[in-house]
């Protein structure tokens, strides 16, 4: 096995340098560790005992940007008891496969020759891990194909995929609750496309938020989705933990300003119905991308009017957003958008004059004047339910269309 070969490399380097050596995967989970030579610190001991570090320790490590390194570098963590380390990225064919660590603290520091030895060992480990990765990816490719069919538009293909998953007994024989969690990173620049691998890693890490949960991941470039399976219906707290772990891991890998939108579908109790949760999760992740007020994580059934509006295809949504009364109002509003903002606040608050005036920090008389002006320009009566509904939906559609254009 590749893991056993990597262990041999770690032990060999440790004996040559008389220092403890460890290799982690890209999420800083331990793959192999040598015996200690008296140079260990609490972090190394914790990693060996638990095969990983807790999030509060992993996060500052990844935030140093080591995922982008191509050469060995020195790491000094602001963590009590942590010793300085040499971090050597383990790569193959340009792909990050892990990190090789050597504690480099005390009076005797690593020499250039020893650092070169670490780099050569990391390169050899990269070849082995890449080989193992290819084997695992062939298996994952088959499961990805099944997952693709499980949510396809073809009912017969969905049924066949559900039967195949059931035959594999990946989720056991007991009844399960299935739920889809989708994630999407929308790169602002071509350089950010390099973060696509971080999407897959983040979603896979979300699966580990709760050890008792089974699941499968489908990833393609900047998009990924996770099929969760649990004997009990997932609680809000559980889903929050999964989503938070995804977004935190993505920021740790891509930078503190990187944003991963997450959407959660409703649970189902039949593999043949997973397509419903999948479609809901995609609509929810679309809401998280287009409606900043919803935050990074949006859950189907908690999107308010966007549960309905986001079912409209993008092209149709843009056309539906062309509401003539609002176009006239915007033209009269010039660049200040005072009347448009007043109308949206007024409608968002169900026509409550006192609350609207307080939120806008204006006198009620000023608000009444603006309402009359809005009615004159739009030709609508804000006491009429149909007119209010048309204007309110139009404002929401315009906001979605504008956000969609910014992200296209």
Task: Tell me which of 132, 150, 165 is where a domain ends.
Answer: 132
In a domain, 154, yes or no: no
In a domain, 255, yes or no: yes
Q: 299 and 324: one domain?
A: no
In a domain, 153, yes or no: no
Residue 82's alpha-carbon distances to 57, 64, 66, 254, in angstroms, are: 10, 15, 17, 24
Q: 293 and 324: one domain?
A: no
Pairing of strands 95-103, 21-24: antiparallel
Backbone angles phi, psi at 36, to 5 degrees: -90, 150
Q: 257 and 345: one domain?
A: no
Q: 286 and 178: one domain?
A: yes
Q: 110 and 17: one domain?
A: yes
In a domain, 321, yes or no: yes
Q: What does the alpha-carbon distance between residue 390 and residue 247 come to, in Å, rounded to a whole number?
A: 36
Check residue 190 and give its pLDDT. 47
In a domain, 139, yes or no: no
Residue 108 is part of which domain span? Answer: 2-132
In a domain, 163, yes or no: no
Q: In 3-state terms, what secondary structure has residue 80?
A: coil
Q: 122 and 39: one domain?
A: yes
91 within 8 A of 125, measured Cβ to Cβ = no
Strand order of the sheet with strand 30-33? 30-33, 21-24, 95-103, 85-92, 73-75
Q: Could you tell me if residue 13 is left (phi over 0), alpha (psi between -120 and 50 degrees) or otherwise beta?
A: alpha
Domain count, the chain: 3
31 within 8 A of 1, measured Cβ to Cβ = no
In a domain, 144, yes or no: no
38 within 8 A of 22, measured Cβ to Cβ = no
Domain of residue 369, CATH code:
1.10.10.2840
Check residue 197 and give its pLDDT. 77
Q: What does the alpha-carbon distance between residue 35 and residue 149 come to, in Å, rounded to a whole number?
A: 47
Q: 10 and 120: one domain?
A: yes
- Give the torsion sign (CA, 11, 16, 20, 24): negative
Domain of residue 267, CATH code:
3.30.70.270
Check residue 321 and give its pLDDT. 83
In a domain, 241, yes or no: yes
Domain of residue 118, CATH code:
3.30.450.40
Residue 273's alpha-carbon distances to 161, 165, 330, 341, in angstroms, are: 12, 13, 44, 42
Which residue stretches of the chain have pLDDT < 50?
Answer: 1-2, 190
**Those residues with Cβ within 8 angstroms of residue 92's Cβ, 6 or more apart along the chain or in another chain:** 123, 126, 127, 129, 130
Q: 302 and 195: one domain?
A: yes
Q: 124 and 14: one domain?
A: yes
């Amino acid at each position: 096995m590749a893991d056993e070969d990597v262990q041999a490399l770690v032990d060999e380097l440790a004996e040559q340098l008389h220092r403890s050596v460890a290799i982690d995967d890209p999420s800083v989970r331990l793959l192999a560790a040598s015996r200690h030579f008296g140079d260990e610190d609490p972090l190394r001991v914790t990693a060996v005992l638990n095969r990983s570090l807790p999030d509060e320790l992993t996060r500052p490590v990844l935030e140093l940007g080591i995922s982008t390194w191509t050469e060995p570098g020195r790491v000094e963590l602001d963590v009590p008891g942590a010793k300085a380390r040499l971090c050597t990225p383990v790569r193959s064919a340009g792909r990050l496969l892990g990190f090789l660590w050597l504690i480099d603290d005390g009076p005797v520091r690593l020499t250039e020759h020893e650092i070169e030895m670490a780099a050569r060992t990391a390169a050899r480990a990269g070849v082995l891990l890449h080989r193992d990765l290819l084997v695992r990816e062939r298996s994952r490719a088959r499961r990805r194909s099944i997952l693709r069919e499980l949510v396809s538009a073809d009912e017969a293909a969905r049924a066949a995929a559900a039967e195949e998953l059931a035959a594999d007994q990946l989720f056991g024989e007991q009844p399960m609750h299935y739920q889809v969690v989708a994630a999407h990173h929308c790169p602002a620049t071509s350089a950010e496309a390099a973060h696509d691998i971080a999407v897959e890693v983040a979603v896979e890490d979300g699966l580990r938020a709760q050890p008792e949960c089974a699941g499968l991941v489908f990833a393609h470039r900047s998009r990924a989705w996770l099929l969760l399976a649990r004997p009990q219906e997932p609680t809000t707290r559980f889903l929050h933990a999964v989503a938070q772990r995804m977004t935190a891991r993505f920021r740790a890998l891509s930078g503190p300003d990187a944003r991963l939108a997450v959407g959660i579908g409703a649970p189902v109790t039949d593999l043949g119905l997973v397509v419903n949760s999948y479609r809901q999760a995609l609509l929810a992740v679309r809401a998280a991308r287009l409606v900043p007020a919803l935050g990074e994580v949006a859950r189907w059934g908690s999107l308010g009017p966007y549960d309905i509006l986001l079912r409209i295809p993008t092209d149709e949504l843009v056309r539906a957003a062309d509401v003539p009364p609002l176009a006239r109002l915007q033209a009269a509003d010039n660049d200040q958008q005072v009347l448009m903002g007043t109308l949206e606040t007024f409608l968002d608050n169900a026509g409550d004059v006192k609350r609207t005036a307080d939120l806008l920090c204006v006198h009620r008389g000023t608000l009444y004047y603006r309402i009359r002006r809005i009615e004159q320009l739009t030709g609508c009566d804000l006491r009429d339910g149909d007119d209010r509904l048309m204007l309110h939906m139009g404002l929401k559609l315009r906001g979605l269309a504008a956000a969609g254009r910014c992200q296209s």
